[in-house]
Amino acid sequence: VSGPPPRLPPPVVTVRGPDWLPASRLDAARACPLSVALAASDADPLPSHPKAVYGSILHRLYEAAARGDVEPGPDFPRRMRTELDRLVAGRPPGVPAPERVYGYLEWLQRSSDVVARAGAVVGDGGARPSRLAPSSPGRPSPFRPDDAPPPFVAHDHGRWAEVWLASPRLRVRGKADLVEREGDHVTVVDLKTGKASGADGGVAERAALQLRAYGLVVLELVPRATVHLVVAAGSTRPVPFGPSDQEATRAVLADLAGRLPAGAAVDAADLATPGAPCRFCSGRHRCPAYAAAAPPWWREGAPHPVPADVWGRVESAVREGGSVSLSLRDAADRLVRVARLREGLVGDVSEGDELHAFGLQGRGGRTEDGLHLAPTRYADLGVDGEGAAWSLAVFGRG
């Protein structure tokens, strides 16, 4: 084992407003504008969980089918499996096999579900015909935000996959999965590989807001269009896009554009909104608001699940077979045990050192009032040495 763990990056004080508001992250930006500004910056993010890698692989598989790259017909499921194997084989180095990350059965279930959803979209020769069956061969759009307008502006009949939509006026951009045009009717489709419903059973707000932003861009490009927005997640579900929805979406975009002015420096403290979104934020290790908010959550509980992170001073370190088990006095003055940390991640850390760990495995309890408590026992490697806290990042303070 050589040297200490990497140094914790300094806390972020100011951020630059991004040039574009990402359509796929508008809901996250509403919840915490700082998270989106940090994600758009060059700063080193916390590592992605392999489940995010496989989520994007499954989405690419769905897109490939929608694009027409996987031939429909009775053999469609087998061809999709072959395409999936190819995409999985090309995953980034170091990402474990999907069966290790999810377990064999869960991976089989997830991938079969996406094959079935794609079959419903393209029509697979034996399955029910899809309302989204191609009206002309699907083809990728060559359009990029700073380039020519997307093809449906010039062609009043067709179906295109992966269409860049951007509005410099609204400062929003993103890549729509599918756009169909039949005369004055333009349909924008979001292909969902996972859950598409929100807590109320309707289309999840994240997907609805993204599609509505695309809808506003389409209206700018083809002002006479009647725009239909659809989420395709097994069955197809429409997203309302009446005048009040359009107005509300414009208001969201204007508010975000005001809070995140393009290229201008903004105080991080004015944007940070610690709470439920922190669990999915890749800038936690640089966020002073989270550093201040988390210890009271650990000690007293929080109304939302708490990220599996801990930081504090090492009280003991026991090394065994390539891993280190630590006791820490954490920033909430609790004694926390972290079992089986990979030695390669923690280096030669020892008693008295300050350690910050983001993305551990652990299960916290609840208070009598239902608040979420942080665990006092965490682990990196699983008991069998197989599973691990796949997105774990460990830092020291030197």
Task: Give me the residues that bind ligand SF4 (CB under 6 A), please.
Answer: 32, 34-35, 38, 272-274, 277-278, 281, 283-284, 287, 289-290
Report the residue number, 16 or 81, with the smaller CB distance to ligand SF4: 16
Nearest distance in Å: CB 18, ligand SF4: 14
Four-residue CA torsion sign, 91, 93, 95, 97: positive
Nearest distance in Å: CB 139, ligand SF4: 38
Report DSSP letters for 149-211, one per residue. PPHHHH-SEEEEEEEEEEETTTTEEEEEEEEEEETTEEEEEEE-SS--B-TTSSB-HHHHHHH
Nearest distance in Å: CB 33, ligand SF4: 8
Report the residue number, 325 or 391, with the smaller CB distance to ligand SF4: 391
Q: Which of 164, 243, 245 is nearest to 208 (CA)?
A: 245
How far apart are the two ends of the chain, measured CA to CA in Å?
16
Report the residue number, 152 or 290, with the smaller CB distance to ligand SF4: 290
Task: Find out whether 252 and 216 touch, Cβ atoms under 8 Å.
Answer: no
Nearest distance in Å: CB 43, ligand SF4: 11
| DSSP count for the chain of H helices, then E strands | 12, 15
- Tokens 């201008």 correspond to what residue? 264
Report the residue number, 166 or 306, with the smaller CB distance to ligand SF4: 306
Nearest distance in Å: CB 72, ligand SF4: 42
Nearest distance in Å: CB 389, ligand SF4: 18
Task: Find out whether 57 and 91 touch, Cβ atoms under 8 Å.
Answer: yes
Question: What is d(CA 232, CA 192) in angstroms, rounded to the nearest whole number?
Answer: 6
Report the residue number, 117 or 356, with the smaller CB distance to ligand SF4: 356
Task: Find out whether 176 and 190 touch, Cβ atoms under 8 Å.
Answer: yes
Report the residue number, 225 or 272, with the smaller CB distance to ligand SF4: 272
Structure tokens at 176: 């729509």
